[in-house]
Chain A
Amino acid sequence: MNLKDRLMSVLRHEEPDAIPITAYTILAPRGYKERQLRNIGLCLVDLSTPVYGFKTPNVTMETTEHVTSFSLDDRYSCVAQQKQVIDRTYNTPVGTIREKYKRGYALFEWPSEWAIKELRDYQTVKCIIDDTEYFPNCDDFSKVERIMGDDGVAAAMTPKSPLQSMLLDLMGYTRFSLDYRMHRAEFDDLYEVFRKKQLEMYRIVADSPAEIVLLDDNINGVVTSPKLFEDFCVPFYDEIADMLHAKGKILAVHLDGKLKCLRDLIARTKIDVVEAFTPPPIGDISIDEARATWKGKVLWTNFPATVSLEAQLDRVEREVVNILRSAAPGHDFALGITEDIGDIKSMRYLEVLETITKTVAKHGTYPIAKS
């Protein structure tokens, strides 16, 4: 099987010839090393290109970027230094809101000042959501699919579900926790506006050429409690899963945190793939337990970054073997690199990635013996 077919066979619940090993393109090296890794089995997953576009006719956004150092000769060095602050102001017919982000590793942005700071900000955020108009925009996605060829897949990445977006992008943990208890009417009202708008987006995604839809939800059960997950996430996942399944799509959800308390609820959802599942020590469910609990779902497991970062290469190899044995015989199972394990240009990173890929190639032939 080629790399793409191997991964797709797992995602379609078919038998692969071997366990797929994948890495997001942003976490894969470039050039000779990339080709070498692909040649020994590393399948690339591109998440860079959405299948929809959007416009906001009545809302404008101004962005200011603050950097700690700058050179006309090397304008982008500030990014590498991770001291970049992005200050965004949204002007809407009902008011203005402001948010600040810091840019971190791999250019990920982390909020340092949330958009919703006061109760009146709910109205402004609702106005922005209401004003958003989605439209199909699949040309670039199709180009990426062609570029990936048989060496990987392009997945349509979608933003966090409404609840997770409110928690992680719009108000932060403290405001979220307090407003959920003390301003429930406003909280629920915003959620509902958000939910309806995202469903408009998913209708477009469902009609797109993408076969895999990856919802970037970053769930951690310690924060998104079973009650929140059951009341908000489960019905939302099921609603979009019905929509996507009707058009033959596979719904994967990025669930990379501690999930033990959500274990049974996740089993009940209609999602197809638990993506970025992370076993202990970062996660709190073993692969055996996850496989037993989530029968019928694909477990796309993240290789734990703590092992990658700290361990000697022989321990990395042993860990890969242990994971593969836990997943034996290996149906509905893929292994992936879904979180930073260091500077992708460093020798250490390349050695770890090579060790993982080689070990999967050596021990991951399907079906895998349990011991």
Chain B
Amino acid sequence: MIPLLSTVPYGIRIAFDGFSVIDSRILESQVKRAMRAVSPQAGLAGEILERPILDRLRDSIVSIDFERVRKTCEEALTSGIPPTRVISEGMAPGMNIVGEKFQAGEYFIPDLIAAGAAMEEGLKILEPHLQKGEERKIGKIVLGTVEGDLHSIGKDIVSMLLRTAGFVVVDLGVDVSADRFVEAVRVERPRILGMSALVTITMPQMRNVIELLQETGLKGQLRVILGGAPVSNEFAETVGANAYAPDAVAGVNICKEWVARGDLQ
């Protein structure tokens, strides 16, 4: 087996470097069939053959190539890769790299928006193939910009990134009153509440929402994260929020960490 595993993938890599997508797909499916015929370790062989597709999808997200995202998603389905794996091992790692590039100052908000839109294009192709109950939902979050503040950009980007990360997002929009936030928490029962403010004088509304959550006994059921240019860590601590996000990517990372650590159970 060792010669087969060490030489065939090498051949595929050569083919991927030098051939068009169609050529490499033909070659790939032929090799895959051949390997499955000779190898009892078809799963391992499949992994070796599927990895380049997933990596190509990841790279298509990073390079924000809509057409390539669409084609690679279709190719992944044709190759029999489960849609959940296409999302979690292809597109999600791509969005993670986009987020890292944003935080490194290499990518900017228009890049984040476009990368998110490219991923949503891919999801449109994959979602019809997901089995019932297989949707990759990792938690629910209620989001909104506080009362008096009509800015939506920060909240919209966080919303988009959270959706692509697998969260169910209930977006209340802008100019959201404390009563509406609390009512949404009561009805939707999210694990996280995210509030945004860009106008400095609307920041006290965040305190009002948290106080109302405490008064109604709902604060203990969820975590509160704040964002927006004038908001600071110090302010978030003062008003009783659980976290402050200096930017959209950081905010999504905090939410993902809470999920990964099991803090939201």
Contact = CB atoms under 8 A, between A and B. Distances in A.
A interacts with B: yes
Interface of A: 82, 102, 104-105, 110, 112, 173-174, 176-178, 180-182, 221-223, 225-226, 228, 257-258, 261, 281-282, 305-306, 308-310, 339-343
Contacts of B200: 282, 305-306, 308-309, 339-341
B236 interface: no
Contacts of A225: 108-111
B211 to A, nearest CB: 16
B230 interface: yes
Contact of B110 (A228, A306, A309): A228
Given A223-B108, A225-B110, A309 B151 contact: no
B199 A180 contact: no
A228 B174 CA distance: 27
Contact of A104 (B110, B148, B204): B148
B203 A309 contact: yes
B151 to A, nearest CB: 7
Nearest to B246: A281
A176 B200 CA distance: 26
Nearest to A229: B108
A303 to B, nearest CB: 11
Contacts of A105: 148, 199, 201
Q: Which 5 A-B pairs have the closest CB atoms?
A: A225-B108, A110-B150, A177-B110, A305-B200, A177-B113
Contacts of B151: 110
A82 to B, nearest CB: 6
Nearest to A343: B201
Nearest to B200: A305
30 contacts: A102-B150, A102-B175, A105-B148, A105-B199, A105-B201, A110-B150, A112-B174, A173-B110, A173-B153, A173-B157, A177-B109, A177-B110, A177-B113, A177-B117, A178-B113, A181-B114, A182-B66, A223-B109, A225-B108, A228-B110, A282-B200, A305-B201, A306-B203, A306-B230, A306-B235, A309-B230, A310-B203, A310-B235, A340-B200, A340-B201
Interface in B58-100: 64, 66
Interface residues of B, number: 29
B105 interface: yes
A258 B108 CA distance: 12
Nearest to A176: B110
Nearest to B150: A110
Interface in B208-265: 229-230, 232, 235, 247
A279 to B, nearest CB: 13
A239 to B, nearest CB: 23
B156 interface: yes
Contact of B232 (A102, A257, A258, A306): A306
A339 B156 CA distance: 23
Interface string B127-156: 000000000000000000000111101001
B177 to A, nearest CB: 11
A310 B204 CA distance: 9
B17 to A, nearest CB: 26
A305 B64 CA distance: 37
B153 A223 contact: yes
Contacts of B174: 102, 112
B110 A180 contact: yes
Contact of B114 (A178, A261, A341): A178
Nearest to A305: B200
Interface string B29-41: 0000000000000
Given A104-B150, A176-B110, A177-B113, A342 B230 contact: no
A78 to B, nearest CB: 14
A255 B259 CA distance: 38
Given A174-B156, A282-B230, A310-B235, A181 B201 contact: no
B23 to A, nearest CB: 27
B108 A305 contact: no
A340 B114 contact: no
Contacts of B235: 306, 310
A225 B109 CA distance: 8
A82 B148 contact: yes
Contacts of B232: 281, 306
B201 A173 contact: no
A110 B151 CA distance: 7
Contacts of A182: 66
Contact of A309 (B150, B153, B201): B201
Given A177-B114, A177-B117, A178-B114, 20 more contacts: A102-B150, A102-B175, A105-B199, A110-B151, A173-B153, A173-B157, A174-B113, A177-B110, A177-B111, A178-B113, A222-B109, A222-B247, A223-B110, A228-B110, A305-B200, A305-B201, A306-B235, A310-B235, A340-B200, A342-B201
Nearest to B149: A104
A337 to B, nearest CB: 12
A228 B204 CA distance: 34
Nearest to B64: A181
A128 B200 CA distance: 35
Nearest to B105: A261
Given A110-B151, A282-B229, A104 B113 contact: no
Contacts of B175: 82, 102
A282 B203 CA distance: 13
A52 to B, nearest CB: 28
A339 B148 CA distance: 15
